[in-house]
Structure 1
């Protein structure tokens, strides 16, 4: 199917980022998922598409997403294949007019990611809050996941402070730091709810022993934030591997950075 230029660009953007996730080693097998609210670029041709199957009930209504369209990666689909053949591994879904179900409308009958309840709950929250963040990425950045296995890092803002201190760019490009969600069953509404609480303060949330989730106005934005945080984690772990714990920037140095760049 041929899509309008703007929707085709969104599809290409997801494919590009999916390739990065695979290249980074953050998307083993079918690990990770992406959703993108594309309602603003959907044209009459897509709106007129006949659903490819029966409507699928949602675990709970998403009233702010009524009649919205989403580009979502498929369950059991590999990011490396999303990158090379995006619409063989993603679907466009339409939320029902009452927000209680969704239907797959394009391109093939590819069932969305098992994390769809979390994604839609987060999108519903973002729109309800008046945010312009349309993209949600969940991925498995190795070093960041490893750090969530250390209980000492799981207190509020402890990991943010450590990661900010490793390199100035992290403080500049991830000024909100990271939220932490204690281990919760993947794909559950409980995980979605706990993540939403953290999104009141942060744009990136770490799921203990599981992965990272980021939100942004486009798909590249959350990828860049997670990538930057991952670099800080790598610097910290590289220092530890060399036999010392990196000192990090001091509070004074980080305050100077914050003041200089109005963070």
Structure 2
């Protein structure tokens, strides 16, 4: 399989194990896909799917997300889905508003704005495994690298498995800090200001979503 870098395969093994160890891939939950650089005219089975097993029901969402992201950044070949606990919890307690959720996560740590300056996309709760949720996710992927599936999980994209997993880690760490603040009473005495967010973006050479900075 020379069309798939062997390092990608090792990285897939590493990040999926770490995701499982983090409790984000209970049982057989979660999935990852890589857009390879073949001609796209055929598919080959190299291993797995014995005893009648089939690809994940979320396969259509992966395909649609790859297509959408290809138009935005052709180097982003990895789509990963898992179930980060604190990020999911926020979808139960916070308004499902992209600007509000993005700003909360940006303000939890300096790394957030640097790693996902676009903010996060949010779709309504939808039944997983359908073409409809795939279409909704892909529509958000044209603008965001991270999409929240309320009450379910996260979809993220990146150039390789390690980068994609690191993106999810950063989002979940911010969600964990927010959860900890709420557990301590939720009384925020000081935080990263709007001006400091702008300074962060300038210092690290990223373009923050101007709609969310206002």
Question: TM-score if structure 2 supplies the norm length?
Answer: 0.87
Q: Find the counterpart in structure 1 of residue 170 from structure 2.
A: 228
Q: Is the 8 A contact 1:7 1:38 kept in 2?
A: no
The partner residue of 1:212 within 128, 137, 154 is 154
Q: Contact between 2:125 and 2:151, CA under 8 Å: does it hold in 1?
A: yes
RMSD: 2.0
Paired residues of 1:204 and 1:222 also in contact (CA < 8 A): no
2:78 maps to which residue?
135
SS in 2 for 1:137: strand
Per-residue CA deviation, residues 8-53 of structure 1 (Å, 9 max, x unaligned), is 322211101101101111011111011112335xxxxxxxxxxxxx
Q: Please name the residue that 1:255 is paired with.
A: 198
| 1:200 is aligned to 2:142 | yes
Question: What do the CA deviations read for 1:180-206 (whole angstroms, capped 9, x no partner)?
Answer: 011011011111111111112210000
Matches of residues 32-111 of structure 1 in structure 2 within 5 Å?
A: 32-39=30-37, 66-67=40-41, 94=43, 104-110=44-50, 111=54
| Structure 1, unpaired ranges of 5+ | 41-64, 69-93, 95-103
Please identify which structure carries the higher strand content: 1
Q: 1:171 touches 1:254 (CA, 8 Å); kept in 2? A: yes
Unaligned stretches of 5+ in structure 2? 207-214
Query: TM-score, normalised on structure 1?
Result: 0.71
Report the CA distance between 1:245 and its aligned residue: 3.2
| Equivalent position of 2:57 in the other structure | 114
| Whole-angstrom distance in 2 between the partners of 1:135 and 1:149 | 28
Whose relative contact order is higher, 1 or 2, with alpha carbons under 8 Å and at least 6 apart?
Answer: 2
Q: Is the 8 A contact 2:156 2:168 kept in 1?
A: yes
Note the alpha carbon deviations across 1:193-224, whole angstroms, 9 max, x for none: 11111112210000011100001111111211
Larger Rg computed on CA atoms:
1
1:238 deviates by: 0.7
List per-residue Cα deviations over 1:150-202 (Å, max 9, x = no partner). 242x1131111010001101111121111101101101111111111111221
> Which residue of the partner structure matches residue 212 of structure 2?
none
Q: Offset at 1:229?
A: 1.1
- Check whether the contact 1:163–1:229 (CA below 8 A) recurs between aligned residues: yes
2:61/2:138 contact within 8 Å kept: no
Which of 148, 168, 181 is the aligned partner of 2:110?
168
Q: 1:135 & 1:37 partners in 2: Cα distance?
A: 6
